[in-house]
A = this chain, B = another copy of it.
Amino acid sequence: MKLIDGGICAAKGFMASGIHCGIRKNTAKRDLSLIFSEKQATAAAVYTTNLVKGAPLLVTKAHLANGTAQAVICNSGNANTCNANGVEIAEKMCELTAAATGVAADDVVVASTGVIGQPLSLDPIAPAIPALAALLTKDGSDDAAQGIMTTDTVKKEVAVEFTVGGKTCHIGGIAKGSGMIHPNMATMLVFVTTDVAISSEMLQKALSTDIQNTFNMLSVDGDTSTNDMVTVLANGMAENEEITAEGEDFDTFMKALNTVTVFLSKSIAGDGEGATKLLECVVTGGKTEQIAKTVAKSVVCSSLLKAAMFGADANWGRVLCAIGYSGADVDVTKIDVAFKSPKGEILVCKDGAGVPFSEEIAKEILLEKEIDILVALNDGEATATAWGCDLTYDYVKINGDYRT
């Protein structure tokens, strides 16, 4: 398995495009993206568990009921959520995309991201969709990745090449997500494409399993979005024997998918709103996997720890505090905590109590851009990893006046 260029266009038969159509005032910012597969693809998706759901999710869910899709249309700048005519607008976006690309309207996935509760006008979108279709290209992943960005500062894009049954296969993905990120059985917007031949049942199984350890272990600010969605389109053009059951080929696909989703999860966490650091909490020695996960997630969600990491302050008491209120069944007196970065690793807590350590070395370690918080529960064999970011002045700035 190797990392390659091309993002969502790395897989055979996929093209993409992204343009500025006018939903956003800033003409330099792309705000509408299209992904297209030459052949009808099997499709799988997971959605937010927020009771308030964006209209595009309702429409996409209906369209994916038959397990197939061929195109994805996505705008940024407006979430099309909590609007009286939201479903109607989302349906119309699919119809326009279908007309422009020659696919069936119910093979179109629609997604929107941006401000909640402001009506989404079709005026800038309707004329832009044929233009997007005309611009579809194998080099379009970059443009599409940019078109779905909101407060993201970097585009999130990845692709890998691997082999299934002797056939060269590809899987790539793009993601947007920077704030309102605290997935709960679903996540921010992620679009993954692959040329692997796989049944929609097995594709859904692969996705639903994978996100438990990737996007669902990610938090920027504890707010589970209304518009979270991950979709995977698999068009089979790699011509491997279709994966229809568990086995070696499915495992290989799962591994490739996981490479893409871990990369995108870390990209989203590291580009959390205002973030200067990517935090990775690695928990080992848990009595159960659920305990390890609960602990890892509680640590990366703690506002106090996040602020301490921003200040490069080895305030490990906040790690223990977050473990203690997580609800996980742990023995506090067995817990060890260490901080790690490219500059080294330092033990700060042993058996639930502080150990003497050099504040200078700790500071040097914590001034790096990627920090591992290593928690050893010493209570079993289960492990888990969660990703987050530091809490900074800029998070407050971005969110103090996002809408107006």
Q: Contact residues of A with B, CB < 8 Å?
A: 48-53, 79, 81-84, 115-119, 179-180, 182, 184, 221-226, 301-304, 307-308, 310-311, 313-318, 320-325, 330, 332, 349, 352-354, 359, 391-393, 395-404
Contact = CB atoms under 8 A, between A and B. Distances in A.
A352 to B, nearest CB: 6
A307 B391 CA distance: 12
A392 B402 contact: no
A51 B404 contact: no
A50 B325 contact: yes
Contact of A226 (B315, B324, B399, B400): B324
Contact of A349 (B82, B302, B314, B320): B82
B320 A52 contact: yes
A289 to B, nearest CB: 19
B179 A304 contact: yes
14 contacts: A50-B324, A51-B323, A52-B321, A52-B323, A117-B316, A117-B349, A179-B304, A180-B321, A184-B325, A222-B301, A222-B302, A223-B303, A226-B324, A393-B397
A108 to B, nearest CB: 25
- Which of A310, A315, A321 has the most CB atoms of chain B within a 10 A radius of its CB? A321
A400 B51 contact: no
A82 B330 CA distance: 15
A353 B302 CA distance: 32
Interface of A is mostly: loop
Nearest to A348: B117
Contacts of A310: 396, 400
B308 A402 contact: yes
A314 B2 CA distance: 47
Given A53-B324, A79-B317, 7 more contacts: A51-B325, A51-B332, A304-B399, A307-B398, A313-B403, A359-B404, A392-B396
Contacts of A325: 48-52, 182, 184, 223-224
A143 to B, nearest CB: 28
Contact of A395 (B50, B308, B396): B396
Nearest to A324: B52
> 10 closest A-B pairs (Cβ-Cβ)?
A116-B317, A311-B400, A52-B324, A307-B399, A224-B325, A117-B317, A50-B324, A117-B354, A311-B401, A51-B324
A59 B302 CA distance: 28
A269 to B, nearest CB: 15
Nearest to A305: B223
A392 B396 CA distance: 6
Contacts of A313: 400-404
B402 A315 contact: yes
- Which of A50, A53, A304, A311 has the most CB atoms of chain B within a 10 A radius of its CB? A304
A223 B322 contact: yes
A121 to B, nearest CB: 14
Contacts of A302: 222-223
A330 B224 CA distance: 16
